[in-house]
A and B are shown apart, each in its own frame.
Chain A
Amino acid sequence: MSASQAEMENVVRHALEAAGRAGASQADVLLVEGDDREVRVRGDEIEFVKQAQERGLGIRALVDGKEGRQTSIVSTSDLAPDAVARMAEEAVALARATAPDPTAGLPEGGFATDLPDLGLCDPADRNVALDARIEDAKRAEAAARDFDARIDNSEGSQASSGYARVVYGNSQGFVGSYESASHGLFAEPLAREGDSMQRDYWMTSARRLADLEDAATVGRKAAARAIRRLGGKRVETCEVPVIFDGMTAPSLIGQVASCVSGYSVYRESTFLGDKLGESIAASAVTIVDDGRLPGGLGSKPFDGEGQPTRRNVIVQDGTLQTWLLDAYSGRKLDLPSTGSAARGTGSAPRVGTTNLWLEPGDKTLDELIGELDRGLVVTELIGMGFNPTTGDYSRGAAGLWVENGEVVHPVEEITIAGNLGDMLKSIDRIGSELVWRGRTASPPVRIAAMTVAGE
C-alpha cells in the first residue's frame, strides 16, 4: 500500500468517526483523487494542454428518525481534518432536516472481501511524458489529413491520460480502495467537396496505453467516416430495415440498461417494469453487464456501496433475467443488490452499468449490408428522443442508404422512429464485431423495420 493510499484511507476513517460523533447512526465516505492530462492538436498546432490534480470527498450521513432513517450527502475538496469534521457535522444537521425514509440505509452486509487485480492500471504508463501524448494526437491529425485530399480541416485530435484513486469506507466496517487509469485518443476531421462539408470521428480508449489503437489508424478511420458522409441527402419517408453500426448500437443497449434500473422500476417509469422473466427481445439477444472484466473501462472491484461487482446477465436469449440494483432500489423491490451502485462524491448511490455489452452474432457488418435489399445503416445519432416510460423512440440520424446489398449514397437530415420494445423484438440480425470504445459495446444490430422520416 502506498503512503498516499494509507493517508487517503485515514482521511476516510477520520470522516466516518466524525460523522459518528456528530450523531450519524450510519455513514459512508467516498474519496477520489485524480490526476488528468489532456491535449488537443489541430493541424500541426497544439490547441491546448490541460493538467490537473483534483480530489473530492463525499460524506453520506444517516440519522435515525421515527419511521426510518434521514439522509444527507455533503461534498467538498477541502480535506483538512477540521474541515472534514465541520463537514460531518453539517451533514448530520442537514440529514435531520429531511424526512425519515423506512427504506434508507447502508447495505446490511455482503461487502467485498476479495479485491482482485482487474488490470485497471499499468504502473509503467505513469511515466508517459505529455509530449508522447501530444505526438499521438499529431500523428492522428496527420494520418487523417494524408488520407484524402478532401480532408482539409479538423476540429482537432485529442489525447488524454487520467489516473484516479478511489477509497470507499462505511460505518459497517468496510474500507476498500483501488487505482485506475484511462487513456484515450479521439480524432474529428472535416471533409469538403463542393458545397458539402462533413465531420465525423473515431476514437480509442483503454486502461493501458499499450491497448490503444494505433494513432494513425484512429486518424484514418475518422477520415474515412467523414469522407463517406460527403454528398449526404434525405430519403423519402418510408419503413425499412435499419442496421445500427458498432458506433451507434451501444446507445440502444445503454437505453435497455437504463430501463432495467431498480429506480425506474419502483418509480414505474420504465416500459419494462412488469416484464421480469418475460421475453422482451428476439431470442438471439443476450445482454451482459460485468464489473470484473479484466482491463474493462467499467471494471472496479467493488461498487459505490462496497458490494462486490459481478457478472449480471440482464437479458438471456431474449428473456429479461434481472433488474440492476443497489441496496436502496433492491430493498424497494425485495431483492438483493446486484453490485450495481454507481456513486460520485457529490451524489447518493444510484444504479449504473459497468462493462455492458450485447453478445455478438456471426456475420460481419459488410455481410449484413450485403443481405439488405433496401434500408438504412445508421452511423451517427443525434438528439435525446427516447422516452423510457413508454419506450417511444425518435432520433435524428445520419448514415448510408443501401439498395440490393450495396451502399448507394450517404443519408442525412432524417429521423428514425419506433418503440424500443418493438425494436428489441424485431432484431433479426446481430453482427460479429464487438469493439470496446467505452463502458458499453455492441456489435452491429439490424432492426427489421423502423420509420425513417425524410422528404
Chain B
Amino acid sequence: MSASDPTQPSADRALDFFRGRFDLDDGSLAAALDTALERQVDYADLYFEYTTTDSVSLEEGIVKSGDRHLEQGVGVRAVRGERQGYAHSDEISVESARLAAGTARAIADETRPHAPVALTTGAGGHDLYSIATAPTDVPVATKVDWLNEIDAYARAKSPKVSQVMASVVCQNKHTLVAASDGTRVADVLPLVRVNVQVLAADGSRREVGYQGAGGRFELETLREPARWQGLVDEAVRIALLNLEAEACPAGAMDVVLGPGWPGILLHEAIGHGLEGDFNRKKTSAFSDKMGQRVAAEGVTVVDDGTIPGRRGSINVDDEGTPSKRNVLIENGVLVGYMQDRLNAELMGVEPTGNGRRESYAHLPLPRMTNTFMLAGEDDPQDILAGVEDWLYAVSFGGGQVDITSGKFVFSASEAYRIEGGRIGRPVKGATLIGNGPDVLTRVTQIGHDLALDEGVGTCGKDGQGVPVGVGLPTIRVNELTVGGTEG
C-alpha cells in the first residue's frame, strides 16, 4: 500500500487498491448490483471498506501498548421508497457482496427485468488530502519516541503535573462505492490524532487538562515541535488553571464564547436539527422553518466538507456524492438542510454530499462535516468589554441535543467570570443549556476572529461515530442558562 504513487489523486489510488488486491473490477461490481436489482428496488449500492488503524499510548512514562486493527468488509443496500434493506459482510469479495445483495433486496417482493448496470467514474470529487506517507506506514518506533518526548516535556512544565497520558492514533481508510445509477467512486482517507491529558495535583486537589489535535494530513505535521509543544502547553495550562477554579454560577446569563472549539454550540444547537432525515420526517424543531429567521442578522453558518486536510473533510461522501460547501443559515435566515441521497430524493432536492457512515456495517445518514459561523466585524476585546458580568467560555467538552424539543447542552472545560468587562477568575466547567431554534437570535456581537477547532471532534448519531469539525468567531449570546452550583 505504501508503494502507491502519491502524485495520483486519492480516488485513483483507492480504485487501484481494490482492483489489485480484491479483483473488484467494474464488471464484477455491476454483477453484484444486478443481484439486488432483480427485485423491484429504486436504487442499490455497494460500499467496500478496508481500514487500518494503529494506536500507541503512554502512561506513567511507559509506552505500554501498541495496537493495530484491520476492519474490512462490504455493506450492500437496496432502497425502495422510504424502505432500506441492508446487509453486510466482513469479507471483501464479489461473492460476499452478491450474498449480501440477496439479503438486502428482501425489502421488495416483486421481481422485474432490469437493464444491466453500467458503472462510470463519479465526477467532481475533490482531492483534499493526498499525502506521501500513510500515517499507518510511519514506523511505530517513531511514534514511541515522540510520545516519550511529549511525556518529558509535559513533566518539565510544572512540578504539579503528576500524571501524563498521551496517545497517537493513525488511520488509513480505503473506500469504494458502486451504485445502480452508475456511480463508482473510491477514496483513500488518512486520519491522524494526538491526545495529551495531564493530571495536576496540589494538596488534595486534582484536576485534568486535555488537549488534542488532528486531521487528514501527514503525521509529520503534528510532529513539528512548535505544534505539539503548543498542545502540551495548553493541556498543562488548563489543568493548572482548573486547580484554581471556583464554583460556577447558575442561572440565565450573558455568555461570551471564545473562538474555535466553542463552535460545538452550532453543531448541537442547529446542526443536527438541519439534517435532512429529521426534517423529511418532520421530527426536528427546525421542520418547516425553511426561509424563516432562525438567527440574528449577521449570523451565517456553513457546513463545508471541502476544506483541505480538515478532520471533517471528505472528497466524496459515503454514497459517492462530492462534498460541498453548504450554507445553512445566511444572514440569520434558514436556507439549507444537509442531505444524503435517500432523504434528498424523498424531499425532492439534490443531495448535498453529507451522506456519511461510520463503517461498512452501518447505513449512511445525513451528517455534518465541518460546521462553523463566518466571521463578523467586532473586535473580540470590545465584545468582552461590553459585558458587565458573568461568563466567558473558551473551551468545551461534549454536547448533546434533543432535536425534537430543540434543547441542547454543551459542557465548558475552561471558563471565566467576566468582571466589569474584563476576564476574571476561572470557574469550574459547567453545562450550558439552550433552545436551538432561538439561541442564535440572541447573538448580539460577532468577532472577526473565526477559528476552526484543533481537529479532534467525533459526532455520534444512531450509534455511529464520524469525524467532524466545528468553528466559531468570538460571539456574545445573551440569556443562556449556565448550570453551575452557585446561586
Contacts and interface: CB of A to CB of B under 8 A. Distances in A.
Interface of A: 42, 45-56, 71-78, 90-91, 94-95, 97-101, 104, 153-155, 190, 197-199, 229, 232, 234, 237-239, 267-269, 346-348, 380, 382-385, 387, 389-390, 392, 394-396, 398, 412-419, 451-455
B64 interface: yes
B208 interface: yes
22 contacts: A49-B83, A72-B68, A74-B67, A78-B72, A99-B62, A155-B283, A190-B283, A199-B404, A268-B163, A269-B199, A383-B398, A385-B411, A385-B430, A394-B483, A394-B484, A412-B407, A414-B433, A415-B482, A417-B484, A451-B484, A453-B482, A454-B252
Given A197-B405, A413-B433, A454-B252, A98 B144 contact: yes
B485 interface: yes
A387 to B, nearest CB: 7
A394 B405 contact: no
B407 A396 contact: yes
Contact of A234 (B65, B400, B431, B481): B481
Contacts of A46: 83, 107
A272 to B, nearest CB: 12
A366 B300 CA distance: 48
A382 B400 contact: yes
B83 A45 contact: yes
A130 B429 CA distance: 47
Interface stretch (B84-92, B125-133, B168-176, B470-478): B84-92
Contacts of B67: 72-75, 94, 346-348
Interface string B57-81: 0010011111111111100000001
Nearest to B142: A97
Contacts of A52: 87-89, 361
A76 B69 contact: yes
B402 A78 contact: no
Contacts of B435: 413
B465 interface: no
Contacts of B404: 155, 190, 197-199
A73 B65 CA distance: 7
A398 B163 contact: no
B431 A396 contact: yes
Given A77-B90, A384-B398, A49 B107 contact: yes
Nearest to B70: A76
A237 B433 contact: no
A77 B72 contact: yes
A31 to B, nearest CB: 13
Contacts, number: 248
Contacts of A384: 397-398, 400, 411
B206 interface: yes
A101 B57 CA distance: 13
A451 B409 contact: no
Dominant SS among interface residues on chain B: strand
Contacts of B85: 48-50
B434 A413 contact: yes
Given A97-B139, A99-B63, A385-B483, 18 more contacts: A45-B81, A48-B86, A48-B363, A51-B87, A52-B87, A72-B65, A72-B66, A91-B68, A99-B62, A104-B64, A190-B404, A384-B411, A389-B199, A389-B208, A395-B483, A396-B400, A415-B432, A417-B431
Contacts of A347: 67
A90 B52 CA distance: 13
Contacts of A197: 283, 285, 404-405
A412 B163 CA distance: 39
B283 A153 contact: yes
B324 interface: no
A395 B281 contact: no
Given A237-B251, A451-B484, A77 B71 contact: yes
Contact of B405 (A76, A229, A395, A418): A229
Most-contacted residue by chain A among B59, B103, B282, B481 (CB, 10 A): B481
A97 B140 CA distance: 6
B64 A98 contact: yes
Contacts of A55: 90
A120 to B, nearest CB: 22
Given A98-B65, A199-B283, A453 B250 contact: yes
B410 A417 contact: no
B401 interface: yes
B176 to A, nearest CB: 17
A127 to B, nearest CB: 17
A76 B68 CA distance: 9
A94 B136 CA distance: 13
Interface in B273-295: 281-283, 285
B267 to A, nearest CB: 13
B348 interface: no
B481 A269 contact: no
Contacts of A104: 64
A416 B199 contact: no
A58 to B, nearest CB: 8
A381 to B, nearest CB: 9
B82 interface: yes
Contacts of A346: 67, 69
Nearest to A263: B59
Given A72-B68, A396-B431, A153 B282 contact: yes
Contact of B252 (A94, A382, A418, A455): A455
B83 A455 contact: no
Contacts of A454: 251-252, 481
B359 to A, nearest CB: 11
B207 interface: yes
Given A45-B83, A453-B481, A382 B401 contact: yes
Contacts of B432: 415
Given A51-B103, A197-B404, A199-B405, A348 B65 contact: yes
B66 A97 contact: yes
A232 B201 CA distance: 42
Contacts of A237: 250-252, 487
Given A389-B206, A451-B487, A453-B483, A98 B409 contact: no
Interface string B128-170: 0000000000011100100000000000000000110100000
Interface in B367-421: 397-402, 404-405, 407-411
B409 A382 contact: yes
Contacts of A72: 65-68
B13 interface: no
B86 A387 contact: no
B106 interface: yes
Given A99-B64, A389-B208, A413-B434, A455 B251 contact: yes
